Amino acid sequence: MEFDWAEEDLSYRSELQAFLAEELPGRWEGATAVLGSADNAEYSRRFAGLLAEKGWLTPHWPTEWGGTGATPWMLAVLGEELWSRGEPRGPQYMNVNWIGPSIMAHGTVEQCQRYLPPIAAGDVIWCQGFSEPEAGTDLASLQTRAVRDGDDYVVNGSKIWTSYGDIADHCYLLVRTDPRAERHRGISVLLMAMDSPGLVVRPIPGMVGEHSFTELFLTDVRIPVANRLGPENEGWNVVREALSFERVGAPRWARAALVLDETVRGALEQGRSIDPMAVEAVGLAKTACEAARVLCYRVIDERARDLPPSPHANVARVAMVQAERLVADACAAIEGNEIMRYGSDSDLQMRKSLAAGVAAGTYEVQLNLVSRRHLRLPKG
């Protein structure tokens, strides 16, 4: 049995922390300022460019496309350190974690040469065009239609809840190319330029930090057939595989754990009394963060051993939602009124805790998957 960091992981973390201490304004205060918002897109580009120069933006990519052969554990260290500081890569975490790898896996040589170098340089922002008004959790019911017309697809429909749609250069777009096929078939992935004529982007102000959604309206948008990723009508498998690159997604527990630690530290430094209920809430929250951490590590270990994706990823996602919520409750118990200071770390944590069970696959769907795949319960 072994449960410890390798020397190379520890030294990488130290080097990364030293870099972040220098680059992120005020470390902790800066974290909220750079929280993946549209206003801070330029910060994201500058910061991701710096990471690219250090070889830390796409370390897990093949060397052919700018990678350095980093292990999944080093990638985990990178994710933890960046996410806990408010994710200064902003939207680009999607680029490097799954959009780039998906293009590598399914793209033509031309697509790889065109799209991967800007991602590896930290110089491009992508968004994902998945959900539609009537296709949320039930994504396979999507209706945005793409019809072949010569060398183009003509696309009509709308997408909603698209993060960064107003600042992105490209969109990883899911469309229906065969309306007669069974719902999981007949879907294709198109790589759409966000300056395409016929595309209108409407921001939707949101309550979670500065980060806002957008709605995309597509009217006769022409997208070259050459921009299709993977085979026509087999986009469902392409996107499923793309999302499995992430497995557990962002290490949300790392941010929650840091917010908890900082909130407790702040209270102790200011000599504020912490009542017994708050003490218990802190204990529960700290434990939940640790539970999420080890369950995420189990998934990373699978990847490090080149094992196929397993239900352990769903288990870890559930644990992360629980941790985010318990940390918000603990912060409220410690801070009292102070948690309500808009934009404070604990205020943002509270907002994020409300969103935790919805973002990136709902809590209920994750529980369904745990029930079926982990407990092997029959489907209802």
Partner 1 sequence: MSLDLSYSAEQSELARSVDGLCRRCGAGAGFTGTDPLPEQYWRGLAELGVLGLGTAAGGGGALEIAASMEQLGTHGAPGPLVGTFVAGALLDPAEMEPVSEGRQLASVGQPPLMPWATRAGVFVEIDSSEAWLSRPAGAPEPVDTTAGEPWGRVELERLRPLGDATAAVALGQTATAAYLAGAAQHLVEIASQYATDRVQFNRPIATFQAISHPLASCSVSVAASRIMARAAACALDNRDPDAPAAAARARLSATASATASAYQAHQTFGAIGFTIEGPVAHVSLRIRQLSLQPIPVASARSRVLESLGI
User: Is the Cβ–Cβ distance between 59 and 97 less than 8 Å?
Assistant: no
* Torsion angle (degrees, nearest 10) of CA 108, 60, 237, 152: -30
Considering only CA atoms, which of 150, 231, 159, 133 is closest in space to residue 190? 231
Q: What angle do CA 350, 256, 268 make, to 5 degrees?
A: 90
When asked if residue 179 is in the footprint of partner 1 (CB under 8 A), the reply is no
- Interior angle at CA 331, CA 329 and CA 337, nearest 5: 105
- Ranges within 328-357 binding partner 1 (CB under 8 A): 332-333, 336-343, 347, 350-351, 354-355, 357
Is 279 a binding residue for partner 1 by CB under 8 A? The answer is no
**One of 18, 181, 226, 277 touching partner 1 (CB under 8 A):** 277
DSSP letter assigned to residue 99:
I
Which one of residues 51, 278, 296, 313 is an interface residue with partner 1 (CB under 8 A)?
A: 278
DSSP alpha helices (H): ranges in 245-275? Answer: 252-269
Q: Distance between CA 266 and CA 251 in Å, rounded?
A: 23
CB distance 57 to 82 below 8 Å:
no
134 sits near partner 1 (criterion: CB under 8 A) = yes
CB 345 within 8 A of CB 32: yes
Tokens encoding 119: 């991602």
The single residue among 136, 224, 266, 361 that binds partner 1, judged by CB under 8 A, is 136
Nearer to partner 1, 149 or 280 (CB): 280
Shortest Å, Cβ 158 to partner 1: 14
- Is residue 38 within 8 A of residue 210, CB to CB? The reply is yes
Q: How far is the CB of 329 from partner 1 (least distance, A)?
A: 8
Can residue 362 be called a binding residue for partner 1 (CB under 8 A)?
A: yes
Site string for partner 1, 208-247 (x = CB under 8 A): x----x----------------------------------
Q: Which is nearer to partner 1, 87 or 347 (CB)?
A: 347
Residues 191-210 within binding reach of partner 1 (CB under 8 A): 204-208
> Residues in the site for partner 1, rule: CB under 8 A?
131, 134, 136-138, 141, 160-161, 204-208, 213, 275, 277-278, 325, 332-333, 336-343, 347, 350-351, 354-355, 357-358, 362-364, 367-368, 380
